[in-house]
Structure 1
Amino acid sequence: MNLSNLFEKQLPLREKIINQHNLQDQDLMPGLILAFQVELGELANEQRSWKHWSKDQKPRTKIICIACNGAGEVYHPINGIQITCPHCNGEGIESPVNPLLEEYVDGISFILEIGLELSEEWLIDENYPTYWITTDDTQSIIEQFQTVYREIADFSRDYDVMTYSELVSQYLGLGKMLGFHWVEIEQAYIAKREINLKRQEEGY
Structure 2
Amino acid sequence: MKTSISFYLYILLFSLTIASSCKKPEEDVEEPENEFITTVKLVVTNTADTSDVQTATWKQLTPDGSNPPDTSAAFLNLKPGSVYALSASFLDETKTPAENITEEILERATSHGVFYIPDAILSSNITIIRNDVDANNLPLGLNATLTTGANTMNAFMNVILRHQPEGKDGTITPGSTDADTRFRVQIKP
Question: Which has a greater percent of helix?
Answer: 1
Answer 1 or 2: higher relative contact order, Cα 8 Å, separation at least 6. Answer: 1
TM-score by length of 2: 0.27
TM-score by length of 1: 0.25
Bigger Rg over Cα: 2
Question: Which has a greater percent of strand?
Answer: 2
